[in-house]
Amino acid sequence: MQKRILLCLAHMSGKEMAFIQKAFDDNWVVPLGPNVDGFEKDLEGFVNHCETTALQKRVVALSSGTAAVHLALIACGVKPGDEVMVQSFTFCASAHPVAYLGAVPVFVDSEPDTWNMDPDLLDKAIADRMTKTGRKPKAILPVALYGMPYQIDRILEVAAKYDIPVIEDAAEGFGSRFDGRVLGTFGHYGVLSFNGNKMITTSGGGALICPDDEAGRRILFFATQARESYPYYQHEHIGYNYRMSNICAGIGRGQMTVLEEHIGHHKHIQALYRELLAGTEGVRLHEAPSPRFDSNYWLCTATLSPELRVKGQENAYKEVIKNAVGGAAGVTHLAGSATTDCQPNTNVEALRMALDAANIEARPLWKPMHRQPVYASNPVYVNGVSEKLFKEGICLPSGPWVTDEDVHYIVEQIKKNIVYL
């Protein structure tokens, strides 16, 4: 039977076990310890390396990328009733922490080159929110979708115009660079994720890139239940249990030794898809718009022309999905209907089904947040880009486990199932 080709799963190198065993041997099985300290230093060495700019960012290791977004929002002073400008085309973890704080995500659509936050639309949206509410938003949250850098230079220009802090969600973009500088180091704060499907993993976990030592200490304070320095538990602020464990950090330290290898592999897989899909009418691979945008290609993505016909298209959306099609935890709540009012085209779903039948895991692109029922009443500024991409796009396997032979097989199955252009 053909092996199952997974979309994206971090590859363990074997070097992690030495750090994990050391933690057990020294009885550091807690959310602090030498591995946590060492992992943070490793991360700082990586993110601060820039040939053109001297950086001294502080990195705090946390339990998840979502926790990093949450703490960054708190650090930016976001409170109930405040508004935060959030990229609509993203995973829910970019938006949900805004709601945790009782604040309001204001969704901004994407531009077509990077698929990330549209700076021009952002500018217009902020001006409109200030007119409507009499207050400026508290933060701007662009996302490095699938590892592709956002137009951070232009986003920072807009942010400076209104004096609004930027929180970079680089959860999918660890190792991606803009003009040679690591994503997450341009804004006030930068979010990283080390979930099991990311560029490197700590099984679960994340980190927050902070502007300096003082900001890092403040984030660490809130991440460790905001305990004051008394011999008893004294709490003068609400804190959170967000610190990374020493065991997870041990995995991260081992993963850091193969980070560049992982990034190189993802770029190689992207290049192979480019070569093999060249000339396939109706299938367009998403690529960086210029050399300034150095993507890690965390996921390789493509769009299908609406005119493209795929075998089995007439059977798309006939049954409710019962197995996992997204997220490490899979689907835990059975949907009541096989369709929604905003979903990928039938040719995209037909191709996903065909690849699944060939033991290839593929998924639709992220559904824009402004089309999610939970955010149906939120303010939104759209240009149609993210909805179009969601309807036409698909994610292809690209993780460290994916081989050249796998990519040849995947492309063969894609071409095999295209029946009419």
pLDDT score of 249 more than 80: yes
Q: Compute CA distances 210 → 93, 97, 177, 183, whole Å.
A: 19, 18, 17, 13
Report how far residue 146's alpha carbon sits from residue 303's, in angstroms, rounded to the nearest whole number. 14
pLDDT score of 26 more than 60: yes
Specify the pLDDT at position 10. 75
End-to-end CA distance of the chain: 31
Specify the pLDDT at position 8. 81
Q: Kindly state the average pLDDT of the residues 209-221.
A: 98
pLDDT score of 326 more than 60: no
Least confident of 13-17, 95-99, 148-152, 185-189: 13-17
Q: Kindly state the average pLDDT of the residues 115-123.
A: 98
Residue partners of 171: CB distance under 8 A and separation at least 6:
65, 68, 91, 93, 94, 143, 144, 191, 192, 193, 195, 198, 206
- Give the angle subtended at the CA of 380 by the CAs of 105 and 392, to the nearest 5°: 110
pLDDT score of 337 more than 90: no
Specify the pLDDT at position 52. 85
Specify the pLDDT at position 18. 75
Sheet holding 58-62, edge to edge: 58-62, 206-210, 189-193, 167-169
Specify the pLDDT at position 332. 67
pLDDT score of 329 more than 70: no
From 317, 396, 329, 390, select the one nearest 356 (Cα to Cα).
Answer: 396
CA 286 to chain centre: 16
Q: What is the pLDDT of residues 129-144, one digit of tens each?
A: 999 999 999 999 999 9
pLDDT score of 407 more than 60: yes
Specify the pLDDT at position 399. 87
Specify the pLDDT at position 57. 98
Using CA of residue 260, residue 266, residue 272, residue 278, what is the dihedral sign? negative
Residue partners of 194: CB distance under 8 A and separation at least 6:
65, 174, 200, 201, 202, 204, 205, 206, 207, 248, 252, 255
Quick check: 108 and 53 in contact, CB under 8 A?
A: no
Q: What is the pLDDT of residues 45-95, one digit of tens each?
A: 999 999 888 899 999 999 999 999 999 999 999 999 999 999 999 999 999
- Average pLDDT over the chain reads 93
Domains in the chain, start-ordered, CATH in brackets?
Answer: 16-258 (3.40.640.10), 260-420 (3.90.1150.10)
Strands 83-87 and 139-141: parallel
Q: What is the pLDDT of residues 292-306, one digit of tens each?
A: 999 999 999 999 999
CA 55 to chain centre: 23
Q: What is the pLDDT of residues 222-246, one digit of tens each?
A: 999 999 999 999 999 999 999 999 9
Q: What is the pLDDT of residues 144-179, one digit of tens each?
A: 999 999 999 999 999 999 999 999 999 999 999 999
Quick check: 365 and 286 in contact, CB under 8 A?
A: no
Specify the pLDDT at position 23. 67
Q: What is the pLDDT of residues 347-395, one digit of tens each?
A: 999 999 999 999 999 999 999 999 999 999 999 999 999 999 999 999 9
Q: What are the phi and psi torsion angles at 419 (to 5°)?
A: -115, -20
Identify the band that residue 336 occupies on the pLDDT scale cut at 50, 70 and 90. Answer: confident
Specify the pLDDT at position 274. 98
Specify the pLDDT at position 91. 97
